[in-house]
Amino acid sequence: MSVNVEIEGEIAIVTIANPPVNAVNRAVRERLLALAQALDDNPDVRAVILTGAGTLFVAGADIAEFDRPAEPPFLPDVIARIERAAKPWIAAIRGAAFGGGLELALGCRFRVATESARFALPEINLGIIPGAGGTQRLPRVIGVTDAIRIVAENHTPGGAEALKLGLVDALVEEPLLPAAIAFARNALEHALPSPSLDRPVSVPSPDVWAEAEDRIAARAKGAAAPARALQALRHGIEHGAEAGLALERSIFLELRATEEAAALRHLFFAERAALRPAEIRGINPRPIETVAVVGGGTMGSGIAAALLNAGLSVVLIEQDEAGVARARSTLTGIFDSSRRRGQITDDQASERMARLETSIGYGAAARCDLVIEAVFEDLTVKRSVFAELGRICRPDAVLATNTSYIDPRLIAEGLPWPERFLGLHFFSPAQVMKLLEIIPTPETALDVLATSFDLARRLGKIPVRSGICDGFIGNRILRRFRAEAEALVCGGVAIAAVDAAMRGFGFAMGPFEMQDMAGLDIAFLYREAARSRGEHVPDIPGDLLVRAGRKGQKTGGGWYDYAAGDRRPQLSAEAERIIAPLVGARNDVAEETIVARLMAAMAQEGQLILDEGIAASAADIDLVEVHGYGFPRRRGGPMFQAARARADKT
């Protein structure tokens, strides 16, 4: 870390250089505090420019420090010192000014920025609120209504919008520093504006608060921070900046110490580490521009949409005209719905469809850099696809199978140049779900592995490498989770009590509601197949339900009953009667016990997966659960939960 100072005539230039993102840690805080004094004492200096080295200003406070108690000098005090400096400080911003970075900029008397600048207070994503004056200075600079969107709703204006909002005083062209120096010299000719904290702010009508509260509550999914950020902002408007700063800091320190914030920090670092596994460091990915997707069903079309969204060209291969027409209509539907939700413009939707080519037969795969097979989950069918691809594709084209259960080694048997082959397990809907399980075979080349991680990054996905086992990481844990849920029911716990406990924990649905939605029959057929191979697979309640014709919502009932056209589960006396032979005496256990049993089952399976070398780290397992299986983000994942439970006991 360094904070450098250069003097250009009467202007001092202070550059925070703390790679990779100029995060503000204790050393940076100490140096800034000392510099504010030293530059005030320097009679030659009339103004100070504060900037960041490289392509961004400052990404925020150093999150790695948050696992320890806060250490002085505290950022609010550093910013207060800069704000009250005798020489005006001017923030010169390109790239991200996030969190504590934006708070530092708000403590400066002026802000100049390039178009590339981006401003955010993303603290709520870490389960905390801004802790260095962001909730107080921002509304005094841009007004309450716009400040609420940035403080509590993740709005991230760029340079041009920031100028309109009044968040920056001037938008300048690169090179940034000469432009900032010219701005500073001009500013020194005029009376200075008030420090941000002293500026008047108009009190909004009560409707503004009520509407913001409603919007925030509707999107919070149980997260505490957004509403608390709004509370701090409002307090400062209603009781003055000093009271606002005090409340902001106390909420920040309170939330920083919560389990929720620790879980979100764990995921923050895990998500970044996932993109850069050690084994492919320094290995160049193969260039990928045109991708063939074989199979245009729900999964294939979703994968094609994800690729098109990322700017790649796609050839979608189907067997006949009807298949092509179905796939085209699915993709049109996907982009239409993104357009209706305002995520893309009409032009962007058309441009995406223009990058889609459809083809009957495999010929077009010959010119593709990557082929992703997404046909029916059946070994013989998949093998016949790769027999064709092996004949047609370039030897350097990467070939991937999208499989959720089948051993990729079996699919690749007989494939020429098998080092270009691996499994890519997408999750449905593939254009939405973030998880990508990457399953190399023992023969997969390292640059092919690197190519798949690079592809994940381009698609905005979270890649997790999985070794080969039945169900890979995610479906293997899911099976154990479901088995434990059924074991609870067999032990006399009510079906609805299990679901309610898991919803209370933060899942959108309980395990039985989820099975009813997805259908009970696939897992049943899987068990029946094992039985027909002579394996000993005892009957479980789900088997009895499927044999009685109860396969879930699609048959009007599974674990629950469903009225026609209504997805809300109703308690089912019939289901209870069917499974009764396997169910013990009624046993009402506490919600925490249910949650603890299911968490322990997931973590035990996760530990086996780690011990067998199937997953590279416990954090990877947490990413699989959070990004592929609806595990509540604010709980950090089953391995995080288990580690915290162990720490509590010691």
- Count interface residues toward ligand 3H9 (CB under 6 A): 26
Residue with smaller CB distance to ligand 3H9, 132 or 314? 132
242 is catalytic: no
Q: Catalytic one among 103, 248, 260, 437?
A: 437
404 is catalytic: yes
**H or E, element range at 597:** helix 591-611
Smallest separation (angstroms) from ligand 3H9 to the CB of 634: 15
CA separation for the pair 209, 144 (Å, rounded): 10
Going edge to edge, which strands form the sheet with 89-93?
A: 2-8, 11-17, 47-52, 89-93, 110-113, 170-171
Half-sphere exposure at residue 171, Cβ-oriented, CA atoms within 13 angstroms: 14
Residue with smaller CB distance to ligand 3H9, 20 or 613? 20
Q: Does 131 bind ligand 3H9 (CB under 6 A)?
A: yes
Smallest separation (angstroms) from ligand 3H9 to the CB of 643: 19
CA separation for the pair 160, 129 (Å, rounded): 26
CA separation for the pair 368, 376 (Å, rounded): 22
Stretch that binds ligand 3H9, among 42-50, 95-103, 329-337, 516-524 (CB under 6 A): 95-103
Helix axes 346-354, 321-340, angle to 10 degrees: 160
Q: Which of 62, 54, 157 is nearest to 111 (CA)?
A: 157
Tokens 């082929």 belong to which residue?
Answer: 371
Q: Does 21 bind ligand 3H9 (CB under 6 A)?
A: yes
SS3 155: coil
194 is catalytic: no
φ, ψ dihedrals at 225, nearest 5° = -60, -45
Please, what's the b/e burial string for 613-645 (b: 16 or more CB within 10 A of its CB; e: otherwise)? Answer: ebbbbbbbbbbbbbbbbebbbbbbbbbbbbbbe
Q: Does 62 bind ligand 3H9 (CB under 6 A)?
A: yes
Contacts of residue 146, defined as CB under 8 A and 6 or more positions apart, other chains included, come to: 155, 165
Binding mask 495-514 for ligand 3H9 (x = CB under 6 A): --------------------
Q: Does 454 bind ligand 3H9 (CB under 6 A)?
A: no
Q: Does 127 bind ligand 3H9 (CB under 6 A)?
A: no
Residue with smaller CB distance to ligand 3H9, 262 or 518? 262
Smallest separation (angstroms) from ligand 3H9 to the CB of 273: 6
AA identity, residue 172? V
Q: Catalytic one among 116, 154, 359, 404?
A: 404
Stretch that binds ligand 3H9, among 19-27, 202-210, 223-231, 301-309 (CB under 6 A): 19-27
> 12, 47, 59, 575: which one contacts ligand 3H9 (CB under 6 A)?
59
484 is catalytic: no
Q: Does 61 bind ligand 3H9 (CB under 6 A)?
A: yes
Q: Does 130 bind ligand 3H9 (CB under 6 A)?
A: yes
Residues in touch with ligand 3H9 (CB under 6 A): 20-21, 23, 56, 59-64, 75, 96, 98-100, 103, 122-123, 126, 130-132, 134, 269, 272-273
List, by residue number, the catalytic residues.
Answer: 404, 425, 437, 475
